[in-house]
Structure 1
């Protein structure tokens, strides 16, 4: 299943994006999480792996570059994209340089542009994961990491935090 995180402080924009992505994805399994507050959108990044993250630039408490930079630290393999009505060069440059945004989508967008972006983002995500898998296989062959470490990395990619579970002496999971 593909997972997308959408962040915009305007609910109507989120609804339009969600409808658009659902029509583009067709029968693909797709889970879309939407948020209007950046701090709320950061919480699921600790526990759920996303294929791509799309953030608006102008928001009251945190701009999109700040959000995507934090998202990059939490999920470096997720494809990050910026959405904005602003066509300022400084905004676009910041998204690319600071947050390493893959694409910049301007408001209003076209369905064709969004479809191209959706497919390119998923292709990029798949390539990143395949590159990581091949690099880990090579590291195992060279003895740089153990097969156990490789398996743990793959688990962490699909379910962030799963390898960092704290166990009590009786074998139960300790919650913070």
Structure 2
């Protein structure tokens, strides 16, 4: 199931974005969590795995770039999109460079552009997850090395009582 996190201090904007995403992604039936408080959103992502975060830029307590930058540290494989009414160059530059946002979109959003960017973001997330699953862990690499060095070393035979057979 696709999990999306929305963060915007304007509840009306959050509701509109939620409705739009639910209509766009009807077949996928995404699980969407929405927060008006960026600190609460940050706490949430520390305990839940999220595929995509869409955040507003101008918010009290923590701006969107700071939030996405913190999310990058906590959940580096979560794809991040910034949605803002501000088209200031410095804002965009900071968001893209520091927070490594996948996209920077302007409010009011264009539904076609939003859908395209969300679908691209979710495809990127799927490829990141697949690549991570295909990469062997340090423990798997060590087990392969030991098995190559001493074939059969990791395969233990036991009798009915559980005792090791030599």
Q: Which runs of 4+ in 1 moved over 6 A?
A: none
CA distance in 2, matches of 1:115, 1:2: 14
Asked if the contact 2:22–2:29 (Cα under 8 Å) also holds between the matched residues in 1, the reply is: no
1:74 is the counterpart of 2:69: no
Q: CA deviation at 1:145?
A: 8.6
- Please name the residue that 1:50 is paired with: 50
Q: Please give the root-mean-square deviation of Cα atoms over the aligned residues, in Å.
A: 1.8
- 2:66 touches 2:99 (CA, 8 Å); kept in 1? yes
> Partner of 1:113 in structure 2?
113
Q: Which has the higher contact order (CA 8 A, sep 6+)?
A: 1
Q: For structure 2, which runs of at least 5 residues remain unmatched after alignment?
A: 146-166
User: How many residues of Structure 1 are paired with residues of Structure 2 in the alignment?
Assistant: 145
**Alignment partner of 2:99: what SS?**
coil
SS in 2 for 1:58: coil
Work out the CA distance in 2 between the residues paired with 1:15 and 1:127.
29
- Aligned partners of 1:119, 1:106: CA distance in 2, in Å? 17
* 1:25-66 deviation digits (Å, cap 9, x = unpaired): 012121110001111111111211000111110012111011
Q: CA deviation at 1:124?
A: 0.5
* Structure 1: tracts of 5 or more residues without a match: 147-176
Q: Distance in 2 between matches of 1:59 and 1:9?
A: 6
